Amino acid sequence: EAGVAQSPRYKIIEKRQSVAFWCNPISGHATLYWYQQILGQGPKLLIQFQNNGVVDDSQLPKDRFSAERLKGVDSTLKIQPAKLEDSAVYLCASRAFAARSSEQFFGPGTRLTVL
């Protein structure tokens, strides 16, 4: 079974530029999460999708971040314009079904550096 795929793996941009990240979850997984992980810290949830609907985006900085999940499969996360403090690893995760014991599977992440 293929895992969660993310691209690109690394991205370096200058502040005020735009950037987009892509995630392909495990086939059949209904729930998809985007997390932001600043170096040395735990991941922070940005947005949670159930199929193609948003369940929680309370911590997404909506003035600059946007995300969509087309047809309930792939997802993109965009930052426009980027700030220095956006430098972090952006992790995508998916899970098969809604149950307390079901596992989140994480992708390798995209490391963003904003100069």
For residues 24 and 48, which CB has a smaller minimum distance to another protein in the complex? 48
Report if residue 85 touches another protein, rule: CB under 8 A: no
Asked if 81 and 16 touch (Cβ cutoff 8 Å), the reply is: yes
Under the criterion CB under 8 A, does residue 4 sit at the interface with another protein? yes
Residue 53 in the binding site for another protein (CB under 8 A): no
Closest by CA position to 104, among listed 30, 38, 7: 30
When the beta carbons of 55 and 115 are compared against another protein, the nearer one is 55
Distance (Å, rounded) from C-alpha 16 to C-alpha 7? 21
Cβ proximity to another protein, 82 vs 109, nearer residue? 109
Binding residue (CB under 8 A) for another protein from 35, 46, 86, 88: 35
Rg of the chain in Å (alpha carbons): 13
Please give the residue ranges that form the binding site for another protein (CB under 8 A).
4, 31, 33, 35, 40-45, 48, 55-56, 91, 93, 95, 98-109
